[in-house]
Structure 1
């Protein structure tokens, strides 16, 4: 290269370096790419490099022993939140299992009930062990067991506990990371009720609905009472606060011999019974049955998923990485990853509890889903 060209290149690089230095010192970012092979690919530099990775948290090996130790050391007097949050290694130290949601596991000792609180994130509880898990939501005292899903929607007063004589474990999914990104997070603990014309702080919510209210009013699909109000809490979520496992399991069994979907097997969504939409505006939930020996075709969607096996054992291939799973584990499937599930049993079904941020993406007209045919061709499904 002629000397004059070397000098010109050197001067250009020096000028660009000084320009970028001055831009950053002024709290700005350049939106151009000068040379993708050098340090001046400014688009790539400003992109968030922390991304969720495919990951599995093992219940028997890691989660359950740590829960037991926490129950021995952390009392309800020292903390009202004795929960373990699953942190995706790609996002650490941020408390997020995928970019928009986190899963937490909680062990409640016998006969302990926490005080009421409310918050802006939406949350659910899924019973894993124990038959007397307790959640009171807006005056409905709900006792639940394995497989039952309880809603604690945005801005509803609720409290958790265990009314039984044995320890009980439940799994939670919250959209906290999404709400934090939107700078909309708040928690409140000062619960009050009006008594004799005065507002009084209370440690326990007064029961305003029968304990079987959700099941009595909404438990018959296709039939809805007109003589009750369906505006509960803030009215921004399903008014049915508990979804019983027996009904879900029975429905899955009814369809066991159907063809199902090649990419998602038998997938049943929990919905708001008043409108058929997801239970929350931000996140939605499913139970997914894989029949004996069933393997789904590769599926890629930009929704992020958290999958918690509730029955059976198997493995998933996420972007070519094999992750084994069993009962009560949690599997992170980051948005944009190719994923296929395999039930390794040739005699028993595998059932996964699935959480997804699909409603948020659909509300913003950003949702996409692609599948891969047996020929290898990629087709757009949504």
Structure 2
């Protein structure tokens, strides 16, 4: 490692890719200017016919010299190809509604889901390199057939009700503000018990599982295995009792056995945090900023091994400092209006709008009204691999070198 780090020059220059731009000095403030100077990494090796032949032999034998690759493989800090991006709920819903009129749901396509395709990841339908997010639309009295897959999934409902997702034969009502889980390799389908269509967002770890080549898929029943429409699922009857664990379920489970996290509980938890703040207790993560993480009742950890789900509420007028975080996330505004600053660009967002935050891109929030936001991320993967880092300018950052 060179003092201060470095970056390789453009390998398109004829055999000059062995030259390195060495960073002279390390920035200590946001205003520091970094000076660069060029040095010969290959000890002044001349561009000769022999060197040209060496590079030709690399290509002929499926080899790539590290000195032409290091900048992409090991940048000085995360350099995501994904870009910060905002999707407008009204536009998404209108297109989903048109899809509902023209594209049937059923075997073949399986789901009428429209993936959020990050402009920085062309040729994919990925919101970030690790996260898939889509709007799914189900018309009145329609059924999405059952299937199962290795990928972990959830549903979050920003508006409407009347659909039941059936997970391993257990019908679970989907209502506004609810988080519904479908852990990997659980059979699941959806049925709409009303005359009205309904749309929600799906979140999955599809990109991560695709890159790791770990995915399996299996078709299930053409219809959901149970078309009942109970108010409370069996999983909730067993697990949705705070601080209480059934003695029949003492073994820890990789994913949460609780299939639904209801809005009334989320709303109450956030409301009480802000009330406690008013009473002088340190209950919020920042002034005017309440937040909760959905957890697995058998472990206290994340709801699924690859996906982290949170909910944030900002009082009107509250704002968060800009922060850089390793790992990517997708947010949806549940209610209210405000501003999100992504990589220095300000975006006005309102109910239903979604935005992607790639790794290490600075983000901050400002609330014009009470500002409620759902967030999911690849946090469990990043934490387990010990890549976690956060940088907030002006604060002590213990995990930075």
Q: Which residue of 2 aligns with 1:242?
A: 260
Which residue of 132, 151, 154 corresponds with 2:181? 151
3-state SS in 2 of match to 1:309: strand
Q: Which residue of 2 aligns with 1:35?
A: none
The 5-angstrom pairing of residues 261-340 of structure 1 reads: 261-262=285-286, 265-340=289-364
Cα distance between partner residues in 1 of 2:287 and 2:343? 15
Aligned-pair CA distance for 1:113: 1.5
Question: TM-score of the superposition, structure 1-length normalised?
Answer: 0.84
Larger CA deviation: 127-136 vs 266-275: 127-136
| 1:370 to 1:10, Cα distance in 2 relative to 1, 3 A | closer
Q: Which residue of 2 aligns with 1:204?
A: 224
Cα distance between partner residues in 1 of 2:198 and 2:147? 20
| 1:136 to 1:212, Cα distance in 2 relative to 1, 3 A | same
Which residue of 165, 172, 175 corresponds with 2:205? 175
Q: Which residue of 1 aligns with 2:145?
A: 115
Larger CA deviation: 263-272 vs 334-343: 263-272
| 1:56 to 1:322, Cα distance in 2 relative to 1, 3 A | same
| 1:292 to 1:45, Cα distance in 2 relative to 1, 3 A | closer
Q: Which residue of 1 aligns with 2:70?
A: 43
Cα distance between partner residues in 1 of 2:393 and 2:191? 45
Q: What is the CA RMSD across the aligned residues, in angstroms?
A: 2.6
| 1:353 to 1:92, Cα distance in 2 relative to 1, 3 A | same
Aligned-pair CA distance for 1:190: 3.8
Aligned-pair CA distance for 1:265: 2.6
Q: Which residue of 2 aligns with 1:72?
A: 101
Cα distance between partner residues in 1 of 2:327 and 2:352? 22
Aligned-pair CA distance for 1:368: 1.3
Cα distance between partner residues in 1 of 2:353 and 2:338? 11
| 1:14 to 1:313, Cα distance in 2 relative to 1, 3 A | farther
Count how many residue pairs are aligned between Structure 1 and Structure 2: 347
Aligned-pair CA distance for 1:181: 0.9
| 1:311 to 1:219, Cα distance in 2 relative to 1, 3 A | same
3-state SS in 1 of match to 2:225: coil
Cα distance between partner residues in 1 of 2:361 and 2:119? 16
| 1:87 to 1:188, Cα distance in 2 relative to 1, 3 A | same
What are the superposed Cα offsets for residues 351-371 of structure 1, whole Å, 9 maximum, x if unpaired? 110001110011111111222
The 5-angstrom pairing of residues 74-153 of structure 1 reads: 74-77=103-106, 79-153=109-183
Residue 140 of structure 1 contacts residue 208 of structure 1 at CA under 8 Å; is this kept in 2? no
Q: Which residue of 2 aligns with 1:369?
A: 390
What are the superposed Cα offsets for residues 65-106 of structure 1, whole Å, 9 maximum, x if unpaired? 111110010012574311110010001212210110011001
Show structure 1 runs of 5+ residues with no match. 1-8, 33-40, 192-201
Cα distance between partner residues in 2 of 1:153 and 1:10? 55
What are the superposed Cα offsets for residues 263-313 of structure 1, whole Å, 9 maximum, x if unpaired? 993220000112211010111100011111111011111021100010111
| 1:364 to 1:45, Cα distance in 2 relative to 1, 3 A | closer
Q: Which residue of 1 aligns with 2:63?
A: 28
Residue 83 of structure 2 contacts residue 118 of structure 2 at CA under 8 Å; is this kept in 1? yes
What are the superposed Cα offsets for residues 89-130 of structure 1, whole Å, 9 maximum, x if unpaired? 001212210110011001110111122100011000112232
Residue 263 of structure 1 contacts residue 297 of structure 1 at CA under 8 Å; is this kept in 2? no
Cα distance between partner residues in 1 of 2:286 and 2:56? 52
Cα distance between partner residues in 1 of 2:123 and 2:297? 38
3-state SS in 1 of match to 2:199: strand
Show structure 2 runs of 5+ residues with no match. 1-43
Cα distance between partner residues in 1 of 2:83 and 2:335? 24
3-state SS in 2 of match to 1:98: coil
3-state SS in 2 of match to 1:298: coil
Q: Which residue of 1 aligns with 2:29?
A: none
Question: TM-score of the superposition, structure 2-length normalised?
Answer: 0.80
Which residue of 222, 230, 234 corresponds with 2:243? 222
Aligned-pair CA distance for 1:212: 2.7
Aligned-pair CA distance for 1:13: 5.0
3-state SS in 2 of match to 1:292: coil
The 5-angstrom pairing of residues 48-67 of structure 1 reads: 51-60=81-90, 62-67=91-96
